[in-house]
Amino acid sequence: MSALKAKHQRLVLIVIALLVLVAAGLLAAWSLRNQANYFYLPSQMAENPPETGQAVRLGGMVEQGSLETMPDGVTIAFVVTDQDEARVPVRYRGIVPDLFVEGSGVVAEGALAADGIFEATNLLAKHDENYVPRELQEMDQHQAAKMAEETTVGIE
Amino acid sequence: MIAELGLAALWLAAALAALQLAGGALAQRGETPLQPLVRPAAILQGLLAGFAFVMLLWVFAVTDLSVKLVAANSHSLKPMIFKIAGAWGNHEGSMLLWVTVMALAGGLIALIERRLPERTMQATLAAQGFVALGFYAFLLFSSNPFERLPVPAPEGLGLNPLLQDIGLAFHPPTLYIGYVGLSVAFSFAVGALLTRQVTPEFARVMRPWVLGAWVFLTIGITAGSYWAYYELGWGGWWFWDPVENASLMPWLAATALLHSASVLAARDALRAWTIMLGVVAFSMSMVGTFLVRSGVLTSVHAFAVDPERGSFILALLALYIGGALLVFALRAGSVSEGQRFAALSREGALVFNNVMLSAILGIVLLGTLYPLLTEAFDVRVSVGPPYFNPASAIFAIPMLLVMAVGPLLRWRGDKFERISVPVAITVAIVVTVALIIGVATAPGLLPLLGLAISIGLAVASFWPLKGRRLTRVPLATWGMVIAHFGIAIALFGMASEGAFTKERLIALAPGGSTEIAGWQVTLEGVDPVAGPNWTALEGHLLAARDGGEPVRLDPQARNFWAPPQETTESALLTRWDGQLYAVLGDRASDGRWQLRLWWKPFVTLIWYGGLLVALGGVLAIIGRVLSDLKRRRIRVLAAERRSEQAMGAVS
Amino acid sequence: MIRWQVWVPLALFSAFLGVAGYQLSQPKDEFIHSTMIGKPLPQFDLPPAMEGVDGAATTNFQDGKPRLLNIWASWCLPCIAEAPHLETLKQQGVEIIGVAIRDRPEDVAAFLERNGNPYSRIGSDAVSAIQFEIGSSGVPETFVIDGKGVIRYQHIGDIRESDVPMLLEKLREAGE
């Protein structure tokens, strides 16, 4: 390389740098296609389920009356639904976020297990009064309507 | 009154920034009526912005509820330190902090920097004034921090309880000084490009600024990571959240810039590349700010977002970064590339480091922007660790290996025989460690490589001191050695945490106990406790190791009011070889309490490593500045001697 | 030789600007409108939010007179801003029933002390349950309820001075 003229050396440097950066870009594009976490609504998951074990996010409402705690005290099971009546059972082992309650919105990160239950590794609940995850806004209104029609839950 | 004073100071500072821009720009065309005013304008602008910021601190300290920002973000019952920190814990206040740092930095270069040609300095100050002007406009027209309410609010709205944390109070200012310190590098790069003065002298002038910004970024990222670790209660120390990436990207660019500036200063090579990085580093600060503030990406640490603000920041981005890249494209051809070097040389290693850092930067940038891109096609995705970890490791691992031997190489060209012994030793260490750990514990591939490389690198980072009298080694070299060693330490912590963490999730009745990694943890009970603006349930745990003395841990689940929000306060127990991390969960229906426990071996090394890296940076700054001063003294003495001789000749 | 490489960064940056600009131009309607309009109020019966007031229940809305249901909280800043306009409505003879969201009695009392009390009844909803039932996603929100207990209109955010005539009109329509 020391035999190269300055101009050529510069060209070689630029070409190598560009090659590496293009490689980085291609690698990023390729792995993004595989690793990006797609967002599913329950109805989409019912129609066109992701592959078992592929990391996705599931967003919806925690169905009233579906939340139960397993005997070990730390595993919970609940059902996520949306306005299209689709229901996806979810299992989660861990400490739930503070605002996670039945009838509120939730985004579960995880993957479908072989038994058809969604195995959540992380739950994101509504953060405060005035914030709804953008992904959930569409559903919130329908869901609220449906819930209100169907439930006549007395409020403690 | 106080708020109006602050606002008036901002308007004056904006006017001075305009003067700075006009004067510096005219000087480029050879007209110099305003030239003597440019430096004083920059200094005064810095003082005025600083004054405005002090006024903002004042209205927050006295909780002046007639100021909208105070009413929206503070509360009379808040502890004083959080009242003050509330001043920058929101969009408007943090933007004011941003321009204050920018103006003070501009004032400082105007005050002390005399080494560059005056025309280049004028262009630099004009660029700095131009950038500051855009942010003044942003503050005054779209996010005025001093806006009054028509009727004073009876009580403030409090501050997001997640942000009521002493660590977080000082985290944003640190990061901001880093972000905005890079604006100086940007201005220098634009100034040098406009006047075609891309010289080693320019790199020497720019370097302390880049180092300073980089030190603050390092500290800010380290502190932010620790905050997320103990405050979110998820047991992780890095989530690849957009906000975290927004601080990492400028750091990557600044690290590359630091190294390429060294090549330019020492060897007069990589001219165009260094200029390019100077532009890119500050671009990353601005892109990060845009992503966090505009709300185009959802993040767990969201500020209140607002598309109008986003549009404003985007317009500023287009103007400054687009403009700088355009100037670069037009002028780069006339900047010749400078000295040559062989592939196997110090420059070669540094170029390799730069290319790899740029690749990692590209990976992080693409991953962060990808959701933005797909959303344009109405597909919602989120990108997380499964993408970021392997994709960045592919480029980080070769970079770390070259980092171990690069500092041993000579400038211009070198022979492999000369460094074959240290290289062989380093490789032997890496392979041996990898084999021992791989056979003994079989962790994942990335943690295994991380452990092996970190130990090799820790040893190798001291090679540059070999065979030298330690008292004669320049401070800057010490800085490099310590920073590289810090990288090794932090990497060891990350890899160890990734490979050996033990987790236990269990529901315990009071009196019950569990075992994790040699610790016996007993739940004594759970009591309600109250703080100044929150109430909490506090769990009392006793942790004993291998039958030793039990130690208390008190994790809490806190409820804040005004506004209502709940947070998790994890409890940490630090030992020399790791940390026990406990989080209290909900109460199960049968009266048991959920507990989440982690044992994380050597996890604290992540942050100690980060601090070592910053310390290395500080030493390098001191070393460079001292040697610059020495050089200047010699020049002054020589000049005096010459004038004395001349005087003698006359008399 | 055309030095195309130097234009690469600018081209990439322009692409980023295009995407980001497009994303920003997409209107993000942060408001979530209730789909309960035209439907009867869900059943609820809330305890009083403080000493000395009555709680709120669905039955309070079914005696033939249109009313406002105002969902608010003492910790909410826009609620302070809308307080004078609620007072105006009250003086125009409108009955307003309030629901305090996730609030504490002493805070409610202090709020009313400072900003006046336009409410005929105030229920306390400690878990935001009614918000969910009625399709309200934030505070403050105001609903126009007709005399049969049917939701006729939803106003999201604080009531401004300019909204007062509009709300009066909606109430008049609901009374027809």
**CA nearest neighbour of A155 among C128, B68, B47, C141:** C128
pLDDT at B138 over 60: yes
Tens-digit pLDDT profile for residues B334-349: 777 677 787 788 988 9
Does some domain include residue C67? yes
Tens-digit pLDDT profile for residues B144-183: 999 998 778 777 766 555 556 676 677 888 988 999 999 9
Q: What is the per-residue burial (b if ≥16 Cβ within 10 Å, else e) of C119-147? A: bbbbbbbbebbbbbbbbbbbbbbbbbbbe
**CA nearest neighbour of B612 among B488, B456, B459:** B488
Contacts of A137 in chain C (CB under 8 A): 29, 32
Task: Answer yes or no: do A83 and A96 share one domain.
Answer: yes
Does some domain include residue C15? no
Those residues of chain C that have pLDDT short of 70 are 1-3, 26-35, 76-78, 132, 137
Q: Using an 8 Å Cβ cutoff, are A37 and B383 in contact?
A: yes
Query: Where does residue B477 rank: exposed (0-12), middle (13-18), buried (19+ CB within 10 A)?
Result: middle
How many Cβ atoms sit within 10 Å of the Cβ of residue B149? Answer: 17
Does some domain include residue A18? yes
Report the CATH number that the domain containing residue C75 is assigned in CATH.
3.40.30.10
Kindly state the helix (H) or strand (E) to which residue A118 belongs, with its residue range.
strand A118-125
C126 at interface of B, judged by CB pairs closer than 8 A: no
B317 at interface of C, judged by CB pairs closer than 8 A: yes
Strand ranges across the sheet with C119-125: C119-125, C96-101, C67-72, C141-145, C151-156
Does some domain include residue C16? no
Kindly state the helix (H) or strand (E) to which residue B166 belongs, with its residue range.
helix B166-194
Per-residue confidence (pLDDT) for residue A142, from 0 to 100: 36
Per-residue confidence (pLDDT) for residue B375, from 0 to 100: 75
**Number of structural domains found in chain A:** 2
Does some domain include residue A42? yes
Average pLDDT over every residue of A111-118: 90
Q: Using an 8 Å Cβ cutoff, are B85 and B93 in contact?
A: no
Average pLDDT over every residue of B4-8: 95
| Cis upstream peptide for C140 (omega within 30°) | yes
**Number of structural domains found in chain C:** 1
Nearest to A144 among C5, C34, C76 (CB): C34
φ/ψ (deg, to 5) at A32: -65, -40
- The pair of structure tokens assigned to B505 is 């999730």
Contacts of C110 in chain B (CB under 8 A): 155
Per-residue confidence (pLDDT) for residue A139, from 0 to 100: 38
Average pLDDT over every residue of B440-448: 87
Task: Answer yes or no: do A67 and A98 share one domain.
Answer: yes
Per-residue confidence (pLDDT) for residue B564, from 0 to 100: 58
**CA nearest neighbour of A94 among B503, C129, C122:** B503
CA angle B510, B511, B517 (to 5 degrees): 105
Helices B307-317 and C8-25 meet at what angle, rounded to 10? 170
B154 vs C115: CB contact, 8 Å cut-off?
yes
Name the B residues in 562-581 with CB < 8 Å from any A CB.
Answer: 563-568
For residue A126, the chain C residue with the least C-alpha distance is C137
Strand ranges across the sheet with B502-508: B502-508, B593-601, B578-587, B571-575
Does some domain include residue C21? no
Longest dimension (CA), chain B: 103
Least confident interval from A75-89, B484-498, B549-563: B549-563
Contacts of C28 in chain A (CB under 8 A): 134
Does some domain include residue C40? no
A16 at interface of B, judged by CB pairs closer than 8 A: yes
For residue B309, the chain C residue with the least C-alpha distance is C24
Does some domain include residue A137? no
- Most C CBs within 10 Å, among A129, A140, A153, to test the C interface: A129
Domain boundaries, position C119 = 45-174
Per-residue confidence (pLDDT) for residue B308, from 0 to 100: 73
The Cα–Cα gap between B479 and B481 comes to: 6
C130 vs A142: CB contact, 8 Å cut-off?
no
Which pairs count as long-range contacts for B331-334, CB under 8 Å and 24+ apart, including other chains?
A: B331/B193, B331/B194, B331/B196, B332/B193, B332/B272, B332/B275, B332/B276, B332/C3, B332/C6, B333/C3, B333/C6, B334/B196
Per-residue confidence (pLDDT) for residue A154, from 0 to 100: 22
Task: Answer yes or no: do A10 and A69 share one domain.
Answer: no
Tens-digit pLDDT profile for residues B256-289: 999 999 999 998 888 888 999 999 999 999 998 8
Query: Where does residue B26 rank: exposed (0-12), middle (13-18), buried (19+ CB within 10 A)?
Result: middle
Per-residue confidence (pLDDT) for residue B49, from 0 to 100: 97
Percent of chain A with pLDDT over 90: 9
Number of H helices, E strands in chain C: 5, 7
Contacts of A21 in chain B (CB under 8 A): 355, 358-359, 362
Tens-digit pLDDT profile for residues B146-155: 999 877 877 7
Does some domain include residue C9? no
Task: Answer yes or no: do A79 and A100 share one domain.
Answer: yes
Average pLDDT, chain B: 88
Average pLDDT over every residue of A92-116: 81
The Cα–Cα gap between A10 and C6 comes to: 13
A114 at interface of B, judged by CB pairs closer than 8 A: no
Average pLDDT over every residue of B315-340: 84
Kindly indicate the confidence band of residue A150, based on its pLDDT and cuts at 50, 70 and 90. very low
Per-residue confidence (pLDDT) for residue B167, from 0 to 100: 67
The Cα–Cα gap between C137 and A35 comes to: 33
Tens-digit pLDDT profile for residues B31-88: 778 888 999 999 999 999 999 999 999 999 998 989 988 887 787 877 788 888 888 8
Kindly indicate the confidence band of residue B303, based on its pLDDT and cuts at 50, 70 and 90. very low
Least confident interval from B238-247, B552-561, B578-587: B552-561
3-state SS, one letter per residue, for A28-81: HHHHHHHHCEEEECHHHHHHCCCCCCCCEEEEEEECCCCCEECCCCCEEEEEEE
Per-residue confidence (pLDDT) for residue C82, from 0 to 100: 83
Chains that touch C (3 or more CB pairs under 8 A): A, B
Kindly indicate the confidence band of residue A129, based on its pLDDT and cuts at 50, 70 and 90. very low
Least confident interval from A76-90, B317-331, B387-401: A76-90
The Cα–Cα gap between A22 and B254 comes to: 21
Percent of chain B with pLDDT over 70: 94
For residue A11, the chain B residue with the least C-alpha distance is B337
Task: Answer yes or no: do A103 and A57 share one domain.
Answer: yes
Pair type for strands C96-101 and C67-72: parallel
For residue C157, the chain A residue with the least C-alpha distance is A130
Domain boundaries, position A86 = 38-126
Average pLDDT, chain C: 83
SS3 breakdown of chain A: % helix, strand, coil, rounded to 5?
Answer: 35, 30, 40
Contacts of C104 in chain B (CB under 8 A): 561
Chains that touch B (3 or more CB pairs under 8 A): A, C
B564 vs A128: CB contact, 8 Å cut-off?
yes
**B224 vs B458, which has greater pLDDT?**
B458
C28 at interface of B, judged by CB pairs closer than 8 A: yes
B372 vs C6: CB contact, 8 Å cut-off?
no
A130 vs C128: CB contact, 8 Å cut-off?
no
Q: Using an 8 Å Cβ cutoff, are A143 and A82 in contact?
A: yes
Does some domain include residue A52? yes
B321 vs C28: CB contact, 8 Å cut-off?
no
B305 at interface of C, judged by CB pairs closer than 8 A: no
Kindly indicate the confidence band of residue B295, based on its pLDDT and cuts at 50, 70 and 90. low
Contacts of A149 in chain C (CB under 8 A): 39
Does some domain include residue A110? yes
How many Cβ atoms sit within 10 Å of the Cβ of residue C84? Answer: 15
- CA-CA-CA-CA dihedral for C106, C107, C110, C111, to nearest 10: -150
The whole-angstrom distance between C34's CA and the closest CA on chain A is 6
Per-residue confidence (pLDDT) for residue A15, from 0 to 100: 79
Find all residues with CB under 8 Å of B459, minimum gap 6, and list them: B425, B426, B429
Contacts of A104 in chain C (CB under 8 A): 132
Nearest to A38 among B302, B381, B566 (CB): B381
C137 vs A154: CB contact, 8 Å cut-off?
no
**CA nearest neighbour of B159 among B142, B174, B177, B172:** B172
Task: Answer yes or no: do A76 and A118 share one domain.
Answer: yes
Average pLDDT over every residue of B391-410: 92
Least confident interval from A4-8, B87-91, B309-313, C49-53: A4-8
Does some domain include residue C8? no
Contacts of C34 in chain A (CB under 8 A): 141, 144-145
Name the B residues in 368-387 with CB < 8 Å from any A CB.
Answer: 370-371, 374, 379-384, 386-387
Nearest to B363 among A10, A24, A72 (CB): A24
Does some domain include residue C19? no
B391 at interface of A, judged by CB pairs closer than 8 A: yes
Percent of chain B with pLDDT over 90: 53
A73 vs B592: CB contact, 8 Å cut-off?
yes
Report the CATH number that the domain containing residue A53 is assigned in CATH.
2.40.50.140
pTM here? Answer: 0.84
Return the top range by mean pLDDT from B118-132, B219-233, B298-312: B118-132
The DSSP output letter for C159 is: P
Kindly indicate the confidence band of residue B486, based on its pLDDT and cuts at 50, 70 and 90. very high
C73 vs A129: CB contact, 8 Å cut-off?
yes
A104 vs C132: CB contact, 8 Å cut-off?
yes
Task: Answer yes or no: do A26 and A62 share one domain.
Answer: no
**B492: Cα separation from own chain's centroid:** 21
The whole-angstrom distance between A146's CA and the closest CA on chain B is 25
C9 vs B154: CB contact, 8 Å cut-off?
no
Per-residue confidence (pLDDT) for residue B307, from 0 to 100: 64
- Most C CBs within 10 Å, among B65, B77, B155, to test the C interface: B155
| Cis upstream peptide for B555 (omega within 30°) | no
Nearest to A148 among C29, C42, C46 (CB): C42
The Cα–Cα gap between C157 and C79 comes to: 9
